[in-house]
């Protein structure tokens, strides 16, 4: 008689977190782009941030320079969309 083994359930969600000035902001989405769109941080000018993306058991960190962080979180419209696309390409292959 064989015993059934339990498989670890791998989540399809991407967990995105950014650490800025000691605070950590988190969001979840079905893609990196969607999770970045859900992050809402204001007044983030001239500050670096560390972005971490987790998908299942894979984890990747990247550092955002102040100009990238400003475009990603303080702008809206086309500039924000381009910044989200550029940051999400940093995490391709996860």
The total domain count for the chain is: 1
- The stretch 32-37 carries a mean pLDDT of 94
Give the phi and the psi of residue 78 in degrees, each rounded to 5.
-65, -40
- Between strands 23-29 and 49-55, the pairing is unpaired
pLDDT at 69 (0 to 100) = 92
Strand-pair partners of 53: 16, 60
pLDDT at 45 (0 to 100) = 82
Q: Which domain holds residue 28?
A: 14-89
SS3 10: coil
In a domain, 83, yes or no: yes
Quick check: 3 pLDDT over 60?
yes
| Cα distance between residue 14 and residue 8, in whole Å | 17
Quick check: 52 pLDDT over 70?
yes
Q: Is 92 exposed, middle or buried (0-12, 13-18, 19+ CB in 10 A)?
A: exposed
Would you place residue 2 in the very low, low, confident or very high pLDDT band (cuts 50, 70, 90)?
Answer: low
């Amino acid at each position: 008689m064989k015993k059934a083994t339990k498989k670890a359930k791998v989540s399809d969600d991407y967990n995105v977190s950014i650490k800025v000035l000691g605070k950590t902001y988190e969001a979840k989405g079905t893609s990196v782009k969607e999770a970045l769109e859900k992050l809402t941080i204001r007044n983030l000018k001239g500050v670096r941030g560390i972005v971490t993306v987790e998908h299942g058991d894979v984890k990747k960190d990247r550092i955002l320079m102040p100009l990238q962080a400003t475009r990603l979180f303080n702008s809206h419209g086309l500039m924000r969309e381009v910044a989200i696309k550029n940051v999400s390409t940093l995490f391709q292959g996860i």
